[in-house]
Structure 1
Amino acid sequence: MIVHIVTIVFGLIALVILLHLAFVLLEANPGNPLVDFIADLANWFSWLFRDMFTIDDPKARAVVNYGLAALVFLAVGGAIAGAGRRWHH
Structure 2
Amino acid sequence: MSRRYRGNLAATIIMVAADVAAFILILWIVLWMLDANRANDLVEWIHDVASWLGGWAHNIFSTQSAWARTLLNYGLPAAVYLIVGHAVAGRVNRA
Structures share a fold, TM > 0.5? Answer: yes
1:83 maps to 2:94: no
Instruction: Report the aligned-residue RMSD.
Output: 0.7
Can you give the 5+ residue segments of structure 1 that lack an aligned partner in the other structure?
none
TM-score, with structure 2 as normaliser: 0.88
Q: Equivalent residue for 1:7? A: 15
1: CA distance, partners of 2:58 / 2:33: 15
Q: Equivalent residue for 2:30? A: 22
Can you give the 5+ residue segments of structure 2 that lack an aligned partner in the other structure?
1-8
Q: Percent identity?
A: 33
How many residues end up aligned between the 2 structures? 87
Misfit runs of 4+, over 6 Å: none
TM-score, with structure 1 as normaliser: 0.94
Q: Which of 45, 61, 65 is matched with 2:53 structurally?
A: 45
